[in-house]
């Protein structure tokens, strides 16, 4: 069964209530692209206001704790995300792995907690430039997939609520974009690992590309075999920058 392309904006640690106007503009435009699933992940303080401001697009968080509640100052649980109306949560982003020392096992535990709370997940994987230059890119990413994605019967049952985002670390926020042929090869490698984890259910998992995606390069990336959407950073902060990416997903290159 064919799935709609999934275009997700990750606002990271950017934004204020003023930016809700951008979210509303994206939400209004969504009706022009019924063949594309669109979502935004704002900082935690904007989750509730953004959820109330939009109706046609998805809203998600940028992280969650493994526990449902407890003495974890500064953290947010998946149950809290669900309660405020979040549809999904981004987990294992390279900035979380780098800044907070998150490893595959922790990302997997967070994903299991989110799925148990009824929140879908986008699990991020990606290699550093050193990994790629050493010829280890596919091995590193494959290991991240195996370690970060929930497995077993519970994981397979939730495959339709799991997405992977391949984001080469060296392309995030740098303006550099992976060559399309490299994206195709990596998405194929990720798909192979997903098949080993989920079997036939792996086809339900969309694999997104992320890393300096913008309105100029989106069409070529989204038309590549195996690319099921995009996780967009800086270009998701305004409707003018984000909507050309959505349009490219709606009308990919032949």
Which residues carry out catalysis?
Answer: 93, 167
3-state secondary structure of 98: helix
Between helices 104-116 and 137-148, what is the axis angle to 10°? 40
Pairing of strands 88-91, 58-61: parallel
Among 122, 201, 224, smallest CA distance to 154 is for 201
Tokens of 217: 């390069």
Half-sphere exposure of 170 (CA within 13 A, CB side): 12
Please report which helix (H) or strand (E) contains residue 180, including its range: helix 180-198
CB proximity list for 241: less than 8 A, separation 6 or greater: 214, 215, 234, 235
Strand partners, 230: 7, 209
Tokens of 122: 């986008």
Cα 241 to Cα 10: distance, rounded to the nearest angstrom = 13
Between helices 44-53 and 20-29, what is the axis angle to 10°? 40
Number of other residues whose CB lies within 10 A of the CB of residue 43: 16
As a whole number of Å, the CA-based R_g of the chain is 17
Cα 108 to Cα 66: distance, rounded to the nearest angstrom = 9
Cα 152 to Cα 154: distance, rounded to the nearest angstrom = 6
């Amino acid at each position: 069964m064919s799935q709609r392309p999934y275009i997700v904006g990750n606002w990271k640690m950017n934004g204020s209530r003023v930016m809700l106007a951008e979210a509303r503009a994206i939400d209004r435009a969504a009706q022009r692209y019924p063949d594309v699933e669109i979502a935004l992940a704002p900082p935690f303080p904007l989750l509730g206001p953004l959820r109330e401001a939009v109706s046609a697009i998805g809203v998600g968080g940028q992280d969650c704790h493994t526990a449902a509640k407890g003495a974890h100052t500064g953290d947010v649980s998946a149950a809290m995300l669900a309660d405020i109306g979040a549809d999904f949560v981004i987990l294992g982003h390279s900035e979380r792995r780098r800044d907070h020392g998150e490893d595959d096992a922790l990302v997997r535990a967070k994903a299991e907690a989110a799925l148990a709370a009824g929140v879908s997940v986008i699990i991020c994987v990606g290699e550093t430039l050193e990994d790629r230059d050493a010829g280890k890119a596919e091995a590193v990413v494959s290991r991240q997939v195996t370690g970060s994605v929930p497995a077993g019967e519970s994981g397979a049952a939730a495959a339709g609520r799991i997405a992977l985002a391949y984001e080469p670390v060296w392309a995030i926020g740098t303006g550099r974009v992976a060559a399309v042929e490299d994206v195709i090869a990596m998405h194929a490698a990720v798909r192979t690992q997903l098949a080993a984890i989920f079997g036939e259910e792996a086809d339900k998992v969309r694999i997104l590309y992320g890393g300096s995606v913008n309105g100029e390069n989106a069409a070529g990336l989204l038309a590549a075999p195996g690319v099921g959407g995009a996780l967009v950073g800086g270009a998701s902060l305004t409707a003018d920058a984000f909507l050309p990416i959505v349009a490219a997903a709606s009308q990919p290159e032949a």
